[in-house]
Chains A and B, each alone.
Chain A
C-alpha cells in the first residue's frame, strides 16, 4: 500500500509541489531567521572568543557585558597576580576611540591594548605582518574588515570601493600617530567597529587622560586549578567581578537578550514564519487529503483498514516533510554560504537543525493528524454517493 500512497501523493504534481513548497518555506524561515539571530547574538561575545587564551576575566563588578567598560586602577592587576592559583595575570585595555583618517574623516574604533611584554589577548589570526611588530614604535594592527571598509582611503572614482588600509599606512589616534604594522582577521563584533590592536601602554597614551584605564585583567589558572574556586577566591580577595570565559560570554549574551529588542523582533519573525508555513503546508496537505477522500473511501470499501490508511497518510506526510525540510535547510545553508563574506551575521549550529526539524515535524504531524481523523471517520458508503 506504500506504493499506492506515494503514487496518490505525487500523482497531482501541482498539489504535491504546493505542499513541498509550503514546508520548504516554513523550514527556511525556521532556520534562516534563527541563524541570523544566533549570528548576531554570537557577536555579542565574539571578542571574548577571539581573546581565547585566558581562563578568567576580572573586571569591575558593575560591568554588564563585554563592551560595558568600567575601568580599574592598574594596582588591581598586582592584587590579582598575588592570589594563589593564578599562573599569570595580564592587563587589557579596551575602549572606543576616534581615529583620524588619511582624508581627515573621523572613525570610532575599538582599541585593544595588550600587555607590552607578552602581547597576550592579541588577534586570533594574522593575515599580514606579525604580532611582534607591535613592539615597534607607534605600531598598531588593524582588522581586515575595518582596513577594507571604514578605515580605507576614499576611492578616486566617485562611488567606488575604498582603497584598503595597508601596512605602512598611518592614522591618528587622539592626535598621536599610529602606523599600521599588521592586518588581522577578527570575528565581527556586535557594533561592527574597526578593531585596532596595540600595546597596553600605547593604548593608554591614545586614550583620554583618566585616573583608571585598566579594562580587564586576563588570568590564566595554574594547571589543575578549579576555575570556579579560583574565580570565587579572586572575587573575595579583590572585591572585583571574576568570570570564566564561558560565564563572561553568557553574561554578555544575556545582557543583549534582556535589554534589547533583538530576541522579540526575531522571535516574532520566526513565529510568523512558523505560523504561515504551518498554515500553508497544513492547509495544502489537508486539502490534498480532502481531495482524495473518495479514493480513501474506495480503498476503505474494498477492505483497507484504518490502520493501513493511517500508515499511508503518515508516509505521505513524512515524505513531503523530509523533502520540504531538506530543501529549506539546504536553502538556508546556501544563503549562509553566499553571505559568508558580507557583514550579515549568520550562525548555523547543529542544534538549529534539530529545532527546525522539530518545527517541520510538528507541522506535518498536525496536518497528518487532522487528515487521519477525517479519513478514519469517513463512512465507506460515501463511495456510492455520486
Chain B
C-alpha cells in the first residue's frame, strides 16, 4: 500500500543574504495513512521546513515529496491550491484564528474556500465545534476564548472540511501542561482515523506518548525514526 506521504531525498536550501543555509539535507521519510507522526528536534533542525514542504506551502529544491500519490512540486499553482484546500488541515502554534471572526466563522473558512455557501458552512462549523466541546461558544471571538479553547477552535477548523492530512506546528507550545494534553487527547480522539494522517512538529516532550512514530531531526537530516506504538 502507498504511504500517505513519501519524501525522497528532499533538499531545501535558503539563501539568507548571500549565505546558503541547508534546512533539509536529503530527507527520506514515509508516513502511513492513519498514522500520527511527530517531527522532533532542536530549533533550526528543519522540522518546520519539512512540514511546510509536506503541506505544499513551500517548494523543495531537490528530491520529491508525494502526498497521497501526488507530487506537489510538479503541480500547477492552481491545482496545488485546490489540493491544499481539499486535503490538508492546519493547526498552528499561535492558533492563527482571524481575530474579527467568531468561532463558527473561523471554523467555516476552509469550507467557504472550497466553495460552500456561508450559511451552510457556518451550520456545519457549529456541528464540528460541538465535537470539540465548544458548541456553546460558537459566537465567541478568539479574544474571548482561553488559549486551550482557541486551539480547539483551530482543531475544528483543521477538521471541518475532512482533510486527509493534518499538519500541526507546535500545537501545545503555547498551552500549559494539562491543557496541552487535553488538546492532544482531543486531536487524537476526534481527528485520527484510518484514512487520516497527522504530522505534528513539536518540542514538547510531554506529548511524545501520543505519537505512533517519532522522527528525530538534526541539522536537516532525519537521524532516527522511533516506533512508539
A interface residue numbers (CB < 8 A to B) = 1, 3-4, 7-8, 10-12, 294-295, 298-305, 308, 379-381, 383-386
Given A3-B118, A4-B101, A384-B169, check contact A379 B58 (CB 8 Å): yes
Of A1, A10, A294, A299, the contact of B100 (CB 8 Å cutoff) = A10
Given A304-B113, A381-B52, A384-B169, check contact A7 B105 (CB 8 Å): yes
- In the complex, besides A295-B96, A305-B81, A380-B57, 6 extra interface pairs with C-beta distance below 8 angstroms are A4-B98, A7-B101, A298-B96, A302-B109, A383-B96, A384-B57
Q: Which residues of A contact B98 (CB under 8 A)?
A: 4, 7-8, 11, 295, 298
- Bound-state Cα–Cα, A121 to B72, Å: 84
The answer to the question of B162 belonging to the interface, with a C-beta cut-off of 8 Å to chain A, is no
9-residue interface stretch from B82-90, B129-137, B188-196, B216-224: B82-90
Give 18 pairs: A residue, B residue, CB < 8 Å, sorted on A: A1-B112, A4-B98, A4-B112, A7-B98, A7-B100, A7-B105, A8-B98, A8-B100, A10-B100, A11-B98, A295-B96, A295-B99, A299-B113, A302-B110, A303-B84, A303-B85, A384-B169, A386-B94
Q: Which residues of B contact A302 (CB under 8 A)?
A: 84-85, 90, 109-110, 113
- Bound-state Cα–Cα, A7 to B96, Å: 16
- Bound-state Cα–Cα, A7 to B98, Å: 9
- Bound-state Cα–Cα, A11 to B52, Å: 29
Q: Which residues of A contact B31 (CB under 8 A)?
A: none
Q: Which residues of A contact B81 (CB under 8 A)?
A: 303-305
**A384 lies within 8 A of B99 (CB):** no
Q: How many of chain B's residues touch chain A, expressed as a range?
A: 20 to 34
Q: Which residues of B contact A299 (CB under 8 A)?
A: 109, 113
- Bound-state Cα–Cα, A295 to B109, Å: 12
CB distance from B93 to the nearest CB of A (A): 7
The answer to the question of B64 belonging to the interface, with a C-beta cut-off of 8 Å to chain A, is no
Q: Which residues of A contact B229 (CB under 8 A)?
A: none
User: Of residues 53 to 96 in B, which have CB atoms within 8 Å of A's CB atoms?
Assistant: 55, 57-58, 78, 81-86, 88, 90, 92-94, 96
- Bound-state Cα–Cα, A308 to B96, Å: 19
The answer to the question of B114 belonging to the interface, with a C-beta cut-off of 8 Å to chain A, is yes
The answer to the question of B13 belonging to the interface, with a C-beta cut-off of 8 Å to chain A, is no
- Bound-state Cα–Cα, A303 to B118, Å: 17
**A384 lies within 8 A of B84 (CB):** no
The answer to the question of B51 belonging to the interface, with a C-beta cut-off of 8 Å to chain A, is yes
The answer to the question of B150 belonging to the interface, with a C-beta cut-off of 8 Å to chain A, is no
- Bound-state Cα–Cα, A308 to B109, Å: 13
Given A7-B101, A7-B105, A384-B51, check contact A303 B58 (CB 8 Å): no
Q: Which residues of A contact B52 (CB under 8 A)?
A: 381, 384
CB distance from B108 to the nearest CB of A (A): 9
The answer to the question of B151 belonging to the interface, with a C-beta cut-off of 8 Å to chain A, is no
Q: Which residues of A contact B90 (CB under 8 A)?
A: 298, 301-302, 383
Q: Which residues of A contact B101 (CB under 8 A)?
A: 4, 7, 11
CB distance from B199 to the nearest CB of A (A): 12
User: Of residues 179 to 224 in B, which have CB atoms within 8 Å of A's CB atoms?
Assistant: 201
**Nearest-CB residue, chain A, relative to B52:** A381
User: Scoring B residues 160 to 172 as 1 if CB is less than 8 Å from chain A, else 0, what string do you get?
Assistant: 0000000001000
The answer to the question of B48 belonging to the interface, with a C-beta cut-off of 8 Å to chain A, is yes
Q: Which residues of A contact B86 (CB under 8 A)?
A: 303
**Nearest-CB residue, chain A, relative to B157:** A302
- Bound-state Cα–Cα, A298 to B51, Å: 15
Secondary structure class of chain A's binding surface, majority of residues: helix
- Bound-state Cα–Cα, A384 to B202, Å: 12
- The 3 A-B residue pairs whose C-beta atoms are closest, nearest first, are A11-B100, A303-B85, A380-B57
User: Scoring B residues 21 to 36 as 1 if CB is less than 8 Å from chain A, else 0, what string do you get?
Assistant: 0000000000000000
- Bound-state Cα–Cα, A10 to B141, Å: 14
Q: Which residues of B contact A300 (CB under 8 A)?
A: 57
Q: Which residues of A contact B96 (CB under 8 A)?
A: 294-295, 298, 383
Most chain B Cβ neighbours within 10 Å, of A4, A7, A302, A305: A302
CB distance from B26 to the nearest CB of A (A): 20
Q: Which residues of A contact B114 (CB under 8 A)?
A: 303
Given A4-B98, A7-B98, A10-B100, check contact A301 B93 (CB 8 Å): no
Of A4, A8, A10, A383, the contact of B92 (CB 8 Å cutoff) = A383
Q: Which residues of B contact A1 (CB under 8 A)?
A: 112-113
- Bound-state Cα–Cα, A372 to B39, Å: 35
- Bound-state Cα–Cα, A209 to B51, Å: 100
**A301 lies within 8 A of B109 (CB):** no
**A381 lies within 8 A of B82 (CB):** no
Of B57, B82, B201, the contact of A383 (CB 8 Å cutoff) = B57
Given A8-B98, A298-B98, A379-B58, check contact A384 B113 (CB 8 Å): no
Given A294-B96, A384-B48, check contact A301 B113 (CB 8 Å): no
Q: Which residues of A contact B112 (CB under 8 A)?
A: 1, 4
Q: Which residues of B contact A11 (CB under 8 A)?
A: 98-101
Q: Which residues of B contact A294 (CB under 8 A)?
A: 96
- Bound-state Cα–Cα, A304 to B113, Å: 6
Q: Which residues of B contact A384 (CB under 8 A)?
A: 48, 51-52, 57, 92, 169, 201
CB distance from B50 to the nearest CB of A (A): 10
- Bound-state Cα–Cα, A47 to B52, Å: 75
Given A4-B98, A7-B98, A386-B93, check contact A303 B110 (CB 8 Å): yes
Most chain B Cβ neighbours within 10 Å, of A303, A308, A380: A303
CB distance from A382 to the nearest CB of B (A): 9
CB distance from B60 to the nearest CB of A (A): 12
- Bound-state Cα–Cα, A60 to B24, Å: 89
- Bound-state Cα–Cα, A308 to B82, Å: 13
